[in-house]
Structure 1
Amino acid sequence: MNKIGFKKKILVIPSNHEEWEDLNWIINLKKNQRKCRFYIYDTSSLYMDSIKIKTSEKIFKSINPFRSGFYYSSKLLKFLITLLNAWNIIKICHQHNIDILFSATPSIFIRLSILFLKNSVNHISYLRSAYPVIDDLWSDSEKMYKYISKFNIPLASFINPYSSDLFLVSGEANRVLLLYKGFPKNRIKIMGPAKLNSYRKKTKKINKSNQITIIYATQSFNHHNDNIGHHSQLVCLESLLEESYLSDHSINFILRIHPRDKISFYSRLIEKYKEFISIENYNIESFLESVSSQRILVSSTSTLLFEWGYLGGKSYSIGTSEFIIKYRKFFDNVHLKPFSNAKYLLYSIVNNKNYISKNSINQLMSNSNKTEKWDDIFGKPLLIKS
């Protein structure tokens, strides 16, 4: 038998740019490449085209008639595409004898696939940020369940977000949140942050200039139908822009748009402060350069805040009072007190005070002895769901 026959076969399913960066780093570790054969299920060529794929294994295109990024609002169409992708995953698993599905967020079509694959294929989920992803799982599942129940389709069990055999999380705060939501304790493993340790050597600090550079990183609240989060983001961004613009200090302001966010949401503010603000899209090169040049990062609950701090940068969280109340569980879990006033936030930035502490960063980006090795997650036998 060919040596490749002894390798575990892994079908990797990313759903966005940031997830693919993490998953791509994990599957290209030398030990994983040596022990496994990887297949990629490309859920959007928009993300895949932007990253160099080291693995030479086969790439499958997902069933998505709107690859240009068009969002389909029809529930029936969304349900049909979900079913078609689930069927496609099942077919690929049978044709290529897949051992493990490896994804980030366990999307509904993945959970539906697992339902029909039963115990023949394991599923590993890497939750880069468990919050607010966990709430999204319930929200999406409930909406889909309410819709399909009208047709008496007996698929109720696929709404179960616990369907993964193993949930990999970056730190203790995510583990606590999963336990709080009822996830089985023996299926959760703290892994530490994917890829970040390899970037630490690249973020050597350089001399800080007299000018303060603030990067406001948006989040995809609107994509997740989070009206409170979306409203908070617009309000806080405008307040911070105004305070920074009127400040006596020399401030350079950069707006970094999330890959799933829309720049059109900020067109009024961009036009109003066009001489003051610059726009920057996310990529790992600009991320590392920004940390190295000691720029300041501001956002709400983005994992980027903690990754920034983990690599040695300074970051700040801000939100409206309503937003902070809604996300109180998250802030408590990571021992973080966010700002609700842009004026006080800017004062802290200027005076180099009250940035996110190492204690908060370690809650979400644990690198303790408890962490498992990333290059050993596919080698160990997994739990089989009863």
Structure 2
Amino acid sequence: MTHRHKILSDPGGRKITRLASVCETAGPGSFTTSSDLQQLPPVLCPFHQQRLRRPWTDKAAKMCCANSFHLWRWADTRRKSSDGDKSAKRPLIVRNVETGKMLVDSLHKIARNPLPCTSTICQGSLMCGPVRRNGRDPRPKEEVLQHAREFLDQFYTSIKRFHSKAHEKRWSEVERQVQARGTYDLTETELVFGAKLAWRNSARCIGRIQWSAITIFPPRTDGQHDYKVWNSQLIQFAGHKQPDGSVIGDPASVELTEICKKLGWKPEGGRFEALPLVLSANGEDPEIFEIPEDLIMRVKITHPVYKTIDEMQLEWYAVPAVSSMMLDVGGVEFTACPFNGWYMVTEIAVRDFCDAHRYNLAEVSTLSHAAPFYIG
């Protein structure tokens, strides 16, 4: 989702960027305390200077128009710091449209990993976002130590034991392990903290506060013994490509469906046929495991008014369990860590059924008027 922006200038020579919205772009491993999130009183934008309650100064880096929901980001074009544009270091003001409160987000400024989103472009809605790390090569020791140090600082800060004897002792243990074998073992408490932190900081989903279960398999060591779930979700419908190029089922699953067939799967060829799990352990070749039908909760898609929806015989699985993401905690990479969430009411109807690269029902439907989908 690209947010268009417009550059304006005030009489003092500074330029101002008008943003429709700004997303939180913190990367895995970053953390903030409550003191980093400050509520700011609303002030007026340059279009309402006659009512402005404080003068233009270089310190007034962030201002928000009290008469709109737009955010305003200042960029001082007259002075540059030694290491680049000063505006790039400034936090972003995020305004809650519902309550009117504003928060200063500095979380994304301390992220070490490259971020998919910027202050003007949000990629959180992409079904398949950019891959941060390609290949199976393990991280260099120096990089692991950097991530580990920052993560341990965040962890011990969160439990109010920063720079304690336990903190320093733990860091010494981690440093010895990394120097000896290139990685280290997280404690159970650290892993629980890191899993929550990494998902909160991910830009993938707007419902990151909600998840109830996660299964974490052994981490990456030398890159030759990875554990992997090949399915993007544990329950996923197949896509059967036909000789004429059309697809029966989910077009997004065509490639994985072909892999399953090569591994010995014998499908029936239906529109809503669950793929088997494709799993590889300890770096070995993948194997398929069919999911018993009685373990898959299916929901019929109906409409209280438009009975044509019923005639389309649509259905979907109830629980989305994401299985294709990698968990990155303190420099330790867990290549298999499936976790569950739940669907928003719009996701199945708008994305899964109507996206052009999915079931594309908006094009193939014979309805004479728009009819929203409801889960019944």
Q: Higher Cα Rg: structure 1 or 2?
A: 2
Q: TM-score, normalised by structure 2?
A: 0.25
Higher helix share: 1
